[in-house]
Structure 1
Amino acid sequence: MTLRYTLRFLLFAVLIGFFSCGSDPDPASETDQTNQGIAPESVSLQLDAEPDQLNPVLTISNYSNTIIGATFSYLQRLNPTTLELEPALAVSAPEVKILEEGPYAGGVSYTFEIRPEAIWDNGSPVTAEDFLFTMKATFNPKVPAAPYRVYLSFIKEVEIDAENPKRFTVYSDQKYIIGEEAISAALPVLPMHHYDSLGLMADIPLPDLMDTEKAKALAESNEKINQFAEQFTSPFFSREPEGVNGCGPYKLVRWETGQRLVLERKADWWGDQVEGAGIVMESYPQEMIFRPIQDQTAAVAALKDGQLDVLTNIAPEQFNELKETAFVAEKFDFYTPPSLVHAFIYVNTRLPKLEDPKVRRALAYATDVESIISTAFSGLAEPSTGAVLASSSYHNPDIKPIPYEVEKARALLTEAGWEDSNDNGIVDKKIDGVLTELSLEYKYTAGRQVSQNVALLLQESAKKAGIEITLTPQEHNVNMEDVSRRDFELLAGAKGIQPITWEPKQEYHSEGDDRSGFATPETDALIDRIQVTLDPKERKKLYIDLQAKIHESMPIIPILVPTGRLIINKELEAPITPVFPGYVPALLKFKTEG
């Protein structure tokens, strides 16, 4: 389990599309071992969707993270039960110092040391040079890693200890609320010898890459920058077993698109030699078979046929039905952990039809969230107020779930100049001299009954307020591409709610993704202040102000926080966690008898 899951939620939040499962599974490998608290030979695990790729610097997919978390190693990982950072690849938490003098005065230094046991698959040691290379690869201006650069841009230099190649210090010239988390857990450490075998990045100073103008000049003048980026972003390093290379406990041995990804545990993994490292360094199954099954019916059939050991994110109605199915209940345990995900609707505020906040708020009042929860989620969810949990200490108490009020929605539309001038049931308005009806396309993930039900309920409730919703189901990866290109009007989304400090820059700052177009100079400045305010009380005031501005602008329509829905073979156990996907695949093991 890694904070990559949390930071993927926290940093750029992964579009999960409104949940659930699809494909052509075959039986999981069987073992005749009895329950002795030992590792199963093989486990078969369902994924809601196909990973897009397995290059850690390039992907923002939770499904990819599930694989990456087992095949790569991070300086620190998140303990799935305590939700606290613990050392993994690093010997300990970093030595943190406030810098009072020198070129980075006013900033912070973080000193790490990599475990002496840590080696790559070829037997060479994992060193500080590998961490430095990982940063260089991320900040190569031709590598599409903008989401990470937003969170790591506070780094100014990495200094390697001249007497200890496994020890290094990261310097920043500013305070940053998640500095330690970002450095140690946003990205795994990549092997320089593998991903840059030609040494293309070796002579390029990291400070030059961290400087936007210098990096731009390098991209134009240094052919090695382009050559490395072309090599690093190739399919070989994203999909091929020989190319995906980390120092985690598992290796990718097969990826059959639409069928399975197979991981095998390394027989001589270096982490097995580390004593007392705790749960973040544990791993049990000898083989993990991940099956991308999007279709609900196919996923349930695979579970009933014994072809899956774990099924996650099952549609609420089917989850409840399976609990009442005797032969399934005899073989499987059912879990409903709290969720660190909130579902919402992206609204493209850059478009003329949606640029007025009153229109977006009208859409929120025209969304019957309670019906979505009771009908599409069988009651297994709570209304959402946004990216901060209502139970959080820094949640704005004035922000409540928006109720379904058709008349309020119509009043807001009228204030914004939208009325039904031709009596066809859809409000309209002249935009650039052209009569335009408020007809909006809603894109959502195809092949998922929950997604379909949400879409239909949204269409029905919005129509009563004079808003026409047209429905466009698409593959998950297509939706991810569309939201990245800002090619949408409305699009179903889901992002993680972090269990630690909220870092809103990636989602709401003009230098981040800002997919909905929320950012303004005023809100950018507010977020910049949040990033460097270490005092919790002062930061809380800023958080509350930002939440109020987001709520007023309504760049997303908050929908709900779902309850996790997880089904696991009774012979197996693993810590159940609110962090996606609700359990840690590598921690699955047979239950101890008795």
Structure 2
Amino acid sequence: MRKTQAFLLSLLLLLNFCGQPARQPDEVRLRLAIDPGNITPINYNSQEALQIINLLYQSLLTVDLEDNTLKPGLASAFPEVERKDSLTFFHYQLRPEAEWSDGSPVTAQDVAFTLKVLKAPFIRNESIRSQVEFIQDIQLDASDPKKFTLVCQGFTPEMQLLTGDFFILPAYLLDPQGSLSAIPFTALSQADSTQYNTAHTRAVAARCNKLGSPDSKDILQGSAGYRLAEWATGQHVVLKRKDNWWGKNTGHAASYLNANPEQINFQIIPDNTTALLALKNAQLDVLDNIPVNEFEQLQQDGNFLKNYELHTPQGYDLIYAAINTRKARFRDKRTRQAIAHLMDVNGMIRVSQQSYATPTVGPIPPDRKDFYHPQLQPRPYSPEQAVTLLKAAGWIQEQNGWYRNLNGQREDLRIELLYRAGNTMYEQMALVFQQHAAKAGIPVSLQPLEGNVYNQKIEQLDYDMHFRGISGNPFVFNFKPLFHTSFAGPGGFNTTGFGTPESDQLLNQINETESETDKARQLHRLQEIIQEEAAFVPLYFRKEKIAIHSRFTNTRVSGVRPYYDLSSFMLKP
């Protein structure tokens, strides 16, 4: 039966690779778990789409995965910052070499056009619009078409990153008549801008809303080193390197503004087993997010290791448990602390990640030693301490569990644990927690849910406890949406209801503090409060598990998504 199954997988794989563009010697082939669906730089909603967009478009600033540092991208340097009263001015200069696919220069007008597109209420930009709300205006320099100033309300140290963290669009392709250039930037920030919803602006909106679909290849062109060559929905997306791309003429910056492989071929393979078979058959050059057991097997496969290198960079994806403080039985923090003592983090790592994870005391990555709390220790797994805390919170133990009287009514301590269906990691973690909670007399029912239902229940705050992961990075530490009480309503990111007056004040200070010493002190205290409140329970940061064909060098493997720089790959001599 196993041989038959392997044969069928091989046949399916062979059929999947038929009808593809001829494989180029200087080509990188890798797997996408899902079809990107829409690769618009205006309103993308998946990591798969973002990975492709990064090869087509550029932002003012970029991340160099060689050393995980911010570098100027389309901008020739980091902006000069000027503060006046309640406003902050970020003065930018674009690279003189930067140009679009048709050879025309990237100018400040393109930046202004992009911001108007991201602000316009008649364009589908919901996922990006909030990220640029703090930008109040853009001022163009009459003497230099590549110079401009962003006018921002207030100031936080992270604004420098945020002012450069959106993809710049070519106005000549999306607005050839210059319809948006006549609209004041500030008008689009106002609640009522319907007067600008004209036939001309609707035409621009139609192009922008079409951008990123499989039939938008003629306008899906940015300033980066690649262009979309082919997109077969559900099968593959192929990018081709531009001829004479301008990035190679930028001097030192050319070391990270790359476009090395002639072709990049994204294979859409939803099934993990099929993806691993393609890797072993050398039909893929790169595979990430490899399941733990399969990764361990690859490490022992001598024939595989002759052609591939395996990498395990420390990632910035945090896995955590959330307890709903709005439920009456979880309002006392001693109850939540007791539940946290029943989470055997090391045991969860063993069964779901083996050694490919790092326990954490908070949402700060442990490799950020300046901000990670040096004295705080992870809460130990201890049923004894859990029992002591439950009794202190007023729970009474009986043969079948725990109960207490609340407002004259009996309240039983039970937990419904939600997690995403089909995710083996969460399923294994849930079983570990269920077993340990049972030893302490707390019944836990497991509720795996499909993605949309799972997200909906959490957004509606209809849950007891859930496991989840969030993607982070080593640059930004704005935790206000996760923990501030102003984000604790329905639909807000603070789904646990976490928050105290002190933590709210700290979150505001962290965003405003310029001193690294003060920020470290504030983040240390925030981590203490998070552990004490035990509503948001940080568990561990995952290590990534990646295989890359050894014929490539300069791969720049990193813990920052997408974990490697495809544009930098070079064939070994």
SS at match of 2:76: coil
Pairing partner for 1:96 from 81, 88, 101:
81
C-alpha contact 1:251 1:264 (8 A) present in aligned 2? yes
* Percent of aligned pairs with the same amino acid: 26
Query: TM-score scaled to structure 2, two decimals?
Result: 0.84
Q: For residues 86-125 of structure 1, what are the structure 2 equivalents within 5 Å?
A: 86-97=71-82, 99=83, 104-105=84-85, 107-125=87-105
CA–CA distance in structure 1, aligned partners of residues 174 and 416 of structure 2: 44
C-alpha contact 1:140 1:229 (8 A) present in aligned 2? no
- Over 3 Å counting, the alpha-carbon distance change for 1:32 and 1:497 in structure 2 is closer
Matching residue of 2:477: 502
CA–CA distance in structure 2, aligned partners of residues 273 and 67 of structure 1: 23
- Over 3 Å counting, the alpha-carbon distance change for 1:480 and 1:159 in structure 2 is farther
Matching residue of 1:589: 570
Pairing partner for 1:535 from 511, 515, 522:
515
Pairing partner for 2:370 from 371, 393, 398:
393
Q: For residues 442-591 of structure 1, what are the structure 2 equivalents within 5 Å?
A: 442-444=418-420, 446=422, 448-465=423-440, 466-475=442-451, 489-509=464-484, 510=486, 513-519=493-499, 522-573=502-553, 574-591=555-572
SS at match of 2:222: coil
Aligned-pair Cα RMSD in Å: 3.5
- Over 3 Å counting, the alpha-carbon distance change for 1:415 and 1:299 in structure 2 is farther
CA–CA distance in structure 2, aligned partners of residues 435 and 402 of structure 1: 27
CA–CA distance in structure 2, aligned partners of residues 485 and 200 of structure 1: 41
The residue type paired with residue 463 of structure 1 is A
Matching residue of 2:169: 190
CA–CA distance in structure 2, aligned partners of residues 196 and 519 of structure 1: 46
C-alpha contact 1:79 1:279 (8 A) present in aligned 2? no
Matching residue of 1:372: 348
Pairing partner for 1:26 from 10, 17, 22:
17
Work out whether 1:337 is the aligned partner of 2:322. Answer: no
Pairing partner for 1:315 from 291, 307, 328:
291
C-alpha contact 1:241 1:254 (8 A) present in aligned 2? no
What's the CA shift string for 1:145-184, capped at 9, x where partnerless? 6665555444332111012221101123433111211111
C-alpha contact 2:247 2:254 (8 A) present in aligned 1? no
Give 1:257 deviation, angstroms. 4.4
Pairing partner for 2:47 from 50, 62, 68:
62
The residue type paired with residue 393 of structure 1 is D
SS at match of 1:276: helix
Query: TM-score scaled to structure 1, two decimals?
Result: 0.81
- Over 3 Å counting, the alpha-carbon distance change for 1:32 and 1:550 in structure 2 is closer
Work out whether 1:178 is the aligned partner of 2:194. Answer: no
- Over 3 Å counting, the alpha-carbon distance change for 1:329 and 1:87 in structure 2 is same
CA–CA distance in structure 2, aligned partners of residues 229 and 349 of structure 1: 46
SS at match of 1:277: helix
Give 1:416 deviation, angstroms. 4.5
Give 1:428 deviation, angstroms. 7.8
Q: For residues 109-508 of structure 1, what are the structure 2 equivalents within 5 Å?
A: 109-141=89-121, 148=128, 151-184=131-164, 186-196=165-175, 201-210=180-189, 215-218=190-193, 223=197, 231=206, 234=209, 236-237=211-212, 240-242=215-217, 244-352=220-328, 354-391=330-367, 392-416=369-393, 423-425=399-401, 438-444=414-420, 446=422, 448-465=423-440, 466-475=442-451, 489-508=464-483
Matching residue of 2:4: none
Unaligned runs of 5+ in 2: 1-11
| Matched pairs, number | 549
The residue type paired with residue 432 of structure 2 is L
- Over 3 Å counting, the alpha-carbon distance change for 1:544 and 1:563 in structure 2 is same
CA–CA distance in structure 2, aligned partners of residues 571 and 79 of structure 1: 22
Mean CA deviation greater in 77-86 or 264-273: 264-273
The residue type paired with residue 551 of structure 2 is E
What's the CA shift string for 1:265-303, capped at 9, x where partnerless? 223433244343233211222222223444432222121
C-alpha contact 2:210 2:216 (8 A) present in aligned 1? no
- Over 3 Å counting, the alpha-carbon distance change for 1:268 and 1:356 in structure 2 is farther
CA–CA distance in structure 1, aligned partners of residues 42 and 193 of structure 2: 20
Give 1:435 deviation, angstroms. 5.2
Matching residue of 1:3: none
Work out whether 1:82 is the aligned partner of 2:67. Answer: yes
Give 1:334 deviation, angstroms. 1.2
- Over 3 Å counting, the alpha-carbon distance change for 1:484 and 1:265 in structure 2 is farther
